[in-house]
Amino acid sequence: MSQATLTSPQTNATTPQEAPVAIVTGGSRGIGKACALALANAGYNVVITYARNADAANDVKATIEEAGQSALAIMADAASPDAAQQVIDQTMEAYGRIDALINNAGITRDNLMMRMNNDDWGAVIDTNLNGVFYTMRAATKIMMKQRRGAIVNLTSISGVYGNAGQANYSASKAGVIGLTKAAAKELAARNIRVNAVAPGFIATDMTKDLPTEEIEKHIPLKRLGQVEDIAKAVTFLVTSGDYITGQVLQVDGGLVV
């Protein structure tokens, strides 16, 4: 698995005080970390949230700061509406603006549907779907006043096509797609774009126990995705997708063509 790295910010037109601000939920590891570093590279100050790994989150914050951007790391359970509001409030207190929101925090609790207990169903729906709603609702109040904003929600090919053994996860990620499209239609008039990225198999802690060699045989590009592959797509949608909203961009090495 390649490690996300940070070089100097590509935008030197703004000082950290003037820079746009992005929030990345679940920014302490994996895809969220790569998105946080890529957005910092693109000249954003970045607020990351995390569930448990304070050390990892503080490392991401320090890496962003070393490169000259400002960062905050906030412990905030994605499944809590109050925590979502606190993240938005703390971001506004620190920076006074929210230009981009990346809803990335997510979990799996895989099992066959007939064996899936209520807790595993509920935890995945609460974190992966309800959490996206809570953060979007709180952030868009600010973005609507600004008349500007870009939101990218992490879904999955499991949410597009379904995956056996992942009824909870597939349902949560399919819900994110519906939420993304509805929000895109509601918010377009206020110049707020809402898109989703649907990764295939990406090399992170979430997929570390899967049979990599077997999976790679089924991927036309013959490799698992790296976190940077997803971060590039997310950064493109935020920084360059001016006329793109309501879309689901699959980044999966051609797995489901």
Positions annotated as catalytic residues are 169
Cβ closer to ligand NAP: 98 or 203?
Answer: 203
To which residue do tokens 């973005």 refer? Answer: 143
Contact assessment for residue 193 and residue 244, using Cβ atoms and an 8 Å cutoff: yes
Closest separation in Å from C-beta 154 to ligand NAP = 4
To which residue do tokens 């499209």 refer? Answer: 181
Cα–Cα dist 248/168, whole Å:
20
Closest CA to 114 of 43, 157, 189, 165: 165
Q: Pick one of 9, 32, 43, 175: the residue that binds ligand NAP (CB under 6 A).
A: 32
Residues 227-256 that bind ligand NAP (CB under 6 A): none
56 binding ligand NAP? (CB under 6 A): yes
Contact assessment for residue 6 and residue 37, using Cβ atoms and an 8 Å cutoff: yes
**Residue 141: CB partners within 8 Å, gap ≥ 6?**
88
Closest separation in Å from C-beta 17 to ligand NAP = 27
Scanning 19-27, 65-73, 86-94, 180-188 for contacts with ligand NAP by CB under 6 A, the matching segment is 19-27
Residues 170-229 that bind ligand NAP (CB under 6 A): 199, 201-202, 204-207
Cβ closer to ligand NAP: 9 or 30?
Answer: 30
Cα–Cα separations (whole angstroms), residue 231 to 34, 121, 153, 179? 6, 28, 12, 21
Cβ closer to ligand NAP: 44 or 134?
Answer: 134
Cβ closer to ligand NAP: 106 or 149?
Answer: 106
Contact assessment for residue 254 and residue 229, using Cβ atoms and an 8 Å cutoff: no
Taking CB under 6 A as the rule, which mask of x and - marks residues 70-109 in contact with ligand NAP? -------xxx------------------------xxxx--
**Residue 103: CB partners within 8 Å, gap ≥ 6?**
25, 131, 132, 135, 136, 151, 152, 153, 154, 176
Closest separation in Å from C-beta 36 to ligand NAP = 10
How many of the chain's residues bind ligand NAP (CB under 6 A)?
A: 31
Interacting residue ranges for ligand NAP, rule: CB under 6 A? 25-32, 49-53, 56, 77-79, 104-107, 127, 154, 156, 199, 201-202, 204-207
